[in-house]
């Protein structure tokens, strides 16, 4: 009887994943990477927020309680147009990550004359404002506290309206890319105050 313990093993068959499964794996990996990036953005944002002041004294009965958000140095609003300098730049960077890794891969759709887009959207003030509002609503309505209907509400009340305005033929990207083969970018001029009758 031959001894098989000393026999050299033959070449192992290479492991091959069927092509159909590769597409599923690639799609799942892309979604997971987008989620990881978004979690990183949220963690960075949470890490950059100042720690609460634990040395503040409790208000007494004779002193009025301060208004929420009325502390010295607190921003008057979380809306990006109310921010300036480094705060604006940091918020725009976080917004860009969300737009590039979450919004566009899922909801970007094809560019056409009826649905223009601009790769330099961050240079269009209206686009920044609308996308930031959309992102703030996304953060609120995809939170577990928003309930099971939160994402549906976000789609209906926020996403659809924002994309309809941004990508309209006469929207902020009207002079930008209308064909993927011909990239274009131009910020449209806005009326000057004297043209609106608002001059002092």
| pLDDT tens-digit map of 163-200 | 999 999 999 999 898 888 888 888 878 787 766 666 55
Query: Long-range pairs for 23-28 at CB < 8 Å and ≥24 separation?
Result: none
Is the pLDDT at 10 greater than 60, yes or no? no
Mean pLDDT of 124-148: 93
Quick check: is 16 in a domain?
no
Give 158's pLDDT tier (boundaries 50, 70, 90).
Answer: very high
Mean pLDDT of 31-58: 57
Host domain of residue 148: 77-187
Quick check: is 109 in a domain?
yes
Quick check: is 35 in a domain?
no
Which of the 8 DSSP states describes residue 77? -
Q: CA-to-CA distance for 65 and 63, rounded, in angstroms?
A: 6
Is the pLDDT at 101 greater than 50, yes or no? yes
Q: CA-to-CA distance for 50 and 4, rounded, in angstroms?
A: 68
Query: What is the structure's pLDDT at 30?
Result: 63
Q: CA-to-CA distance for 170 and 59, rounded, in angstroms?
A: 53
Query: For the whole model, what pTM was predicted?
Result: 0.60
Quick check: is 143 in a domain?
yes
- For the chain, give the percent of residues with pLDDT over 70: 58
Quick check: is 24 in a domain?
no
In a 3-state reduction of DSSP, which class is residue 117?
strand
Is the pLDDT at 149 greater than 60, yes or no? yes
Residue 173's alpha-carbon distances to 49, 126, 158, in angstroms, are 33, 10, 19
> Which tokens sit at 34?
């987008």
Query: What is the structure's pLDDT at 54?
Result: 44
Query: What is the structure's pLDDT at 55?
Result: 45
Quick check: is 176 in a domain?
yes
Range of lowest pLDDT (31-40, 86-95, 141-150): 31-40
Range of lowest pLDDT (67-76, 83-92, 108-117, 125-134): 67-76
If one compares 113 and 191, the residue with the highest pLDDT of the two is 113
Please list, residue by residue across 121-148, b when 16 or more beta carbons sit within 10 angstroms of its beta carbon and e when fewer do: beebebbbebbbbbbebbbebeeeeeee
Query: What is the structure's pLDDT at 96?
Result: 94
Residue 41 makes CB contacts below 8 A (sequence gap 6+) with 94, 97, 98
Query: What is the structure's pLDDT at 46?
Result: 58
Quick check: is 98 in a domain?
yes
Is the pLDDT at 80 greater than 90, yes or no? no
If one compares 62 and 101, the residue with the highest pLDDT of the two is 101
Residue 96 makes CB contacts below 8 A (sequence gap 6+) with 122
Q: How many structural domains comprise the chain?
A: 1
Give 44's pLDDT tier (boundaries 50, 70, 90).
Answer: low
Mean pLDDT of 98-112: 92
Contact between 108 and 98 (Cβ < 8 Å): no
Quick check: is 54 in a domain?
no
């Amino acid at each position: 009887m031959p001894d098989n313990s000393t026999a050299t093993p033959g070449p192992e068959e290479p492991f091959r994943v069927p092509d159909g499964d590769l597409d599923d794996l690639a799609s799942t990996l892309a979604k997971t990477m987008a989620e990881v990036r978004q979690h990183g953005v949220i963690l960075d944002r949470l890490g950059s927020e100042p720690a609460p002041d634990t040395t503040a004294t409790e208000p007494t009965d004779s002193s009025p309680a301060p208004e929420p958000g009325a502390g010295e140095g607190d921003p008057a609003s979380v809306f990006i147009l109310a921010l300036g300098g480094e705060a604006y730049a940091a918020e725009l960077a976080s917004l860009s990550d969300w737009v590039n890794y979450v919004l566009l891969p899922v909801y970007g759709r094809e560019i056409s004359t009826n649905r223009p887009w601009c790769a330099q959207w961050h240079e269009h003030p209206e686009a920044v404002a609308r996308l930031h509002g959309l992102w703030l609503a996304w953060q609120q309505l995809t939170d577990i506290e928003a309930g099971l209907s939160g994402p549906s509400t976000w789609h209906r009340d926020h996403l659809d309206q924002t994309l309809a305005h941004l990508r309209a033929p006469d929207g902020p990207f009207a002079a930008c890319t209308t064909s993927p083969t011909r990239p274009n970018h131009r910020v449209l001029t806005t009326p000057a105050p004297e043209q609106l009758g608002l001059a002092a």
